[in-house]
Amino acid sequence: MDQNSKKRKVAESVLDLIENAEILGIGSGSTVNILIEYLPKVKNKIQDIVSSSVKSTELLKANGFDVNELRAVGKLSKYIDGADEVNKYLHMIKGGGGALTREKILAHNSEKFICIVDESKKVDTLGKFPLPVEVIPLAQSAIALELIKIGGRPVLREGFTSDNGNIILDVHNLEISQPLALEAKINNIPGVITNGIFAMDHAHLLLSAGDNQVEITEPIV
């Protein structure tokens, strides 16, 4: 089974976890785009829906949904999103699509965060995928120097501006053995909006699609 078929398989499988009167948060990325195609099948179960990106909002509207704002709905009952990498603790790297800040806000404000991936995203140690860091443009050079000090090689994401009007540095060469500590350390650099480590706000449930089945796992404590 090719990667796209696995993405379709896991996106369809998560529909079974959507319950009545859900206040649902939707993330972004290729797997979530497929999920949005399938969501009309369970539209009668969704009370409100909130999106983490402009692109996801546009796709949701194209599929017949009225998209609300987080401030209008309060706490989300579930937040569904993909990941660029995920480990056995359900710590993740996210932000390959550039929506990491809004994704983290929705993850933090949800009762249950469900991550959906194909099995290629599962790793033992985070960091092979370059870590996105959203920064205020004024602080780009100063933040880059700080990221070099911790062993990273920051590269400006050329031609990209986040939905929040900021830039992203993609940090290569990191082996993230302590995701909680590194997430906090990078976030404490002045001018950083947030970084793509989701350890403080990790997923509560992982659905990962392989060749034969969708595996459902909880984080190892």
Read off φ and ψ for residue 52, nearest 5 degrees. Answer: -95, -5
9/3 Cα distance (integer angstroms): 10
* Contact indicator for 209, 10 with CB cutoff of 8 Å: yes
Q: How far is CA 163 from the centre of its chain?
A: 15
Query: Terminus-to-terminus CA distance in the chain, angstroms?
Result: 32
Sheet holding 78-81, edge to edge: 46-51, 22-26, 78-81, 113-118, 205-209, 214-217
Nearest alpha-carbon partner for 45 in 64, 22, 66: 22
Q: Single out the residue of 16, 25, 14 nearest to residue 75, CA to CA.
A: 25
Among 63, 202, 197, which residue's Cα sits nearest to residue 129?
197
Please list the active-site residues. Answer: 103
Total count of residues recorded for the chain = 221
Cα 18 to Cα 82: distance, rounded to the nearest angstrom: 16
